Amino acid sequence: MPGEVKAASFVELYGAYARDVYRFALYLSGDAALAQDITSETFLRVWLAEQPVRLGSVKAWLFVIARNLYRHELRHLRRRTPLDPAMAAGDSVSANLEAKEKLARVVKALCNRFLTVAAR
């Protein structure tokens, strides 16, 4: 029966799907160490899961867990990325403001010059 809940030992699940989960995590991350971490965490989540494992859809479920763990890792890495020193410096903000003010003065002068020439 599709979707039937069948008992499978954790050892059987790990033996059958660990390599596939690892390859999928390696494909996502491109990092062997991170792929190993994702694989370990994926099977830890299966071990701790309260629901029984459905053997018909277990591989897809493992891949979803691995993908979500990878996405979580990406979000975590983005938070730890250091700021660009040029953007973090207060001088860059004041320099940008000065450049904008100078540009506004130049545009105003050109417009005045154009209006003066056009009025002749």
In tens, the pLDDT along 7-61 reads 567 888 899 899 999 999 999 999 999 999 999 999 998 888 877 777 777 899 8
Answer yes or no: do 77 and 94 share one domain: no
User: Residue written as tokens 């700021």?
Assistant: 83
Please state the φ and ψ torsions of residue 116, each to the nearest 5 degrees.
-65, -45
Answer yes or no: do 76 and 88 share one domain: no
Answer yes or no: do 16 and 58 share one domain: yes
- Count CA atoms closer than 13 A to 11's CA, side-chain side: 0
| CATH code for the domain of 22 | 1.10.1740.10
pTM over 0.85: no
- Say if residues 6 and 55 touch (Cβ distance below 8 Å): yes
Amino acid symbol at 98: E
Answer yes or no: do 23 and 49 share one domain: yes
Answer yes or no: do 65 and 103 share one domain: no
What range defines the domain where residue 66 resides? 1-81
Answer yes or no: do 75 and 42 share one domain: yes
H-type alpha helices, 10-89: 10-29, 32-48, 58-80, 85-88
What average pLDDT does the chain have? 82
Answer yes or no: do 70 and 101 share one domain: no
% of the chain beyond a pLDDT of 90: 34
- How does residue 4 score in pLDDT terms, banded at 50, 70 and 90? very low
Query: Domain total for the chain?
Result: 2
Answer yes or no: do 45 and 26 share one domain: yes
Answer yes or no: do 106 and 67 share one domain: no
Q: Alpha carbon 80 to chain centroid distance?
A: 12
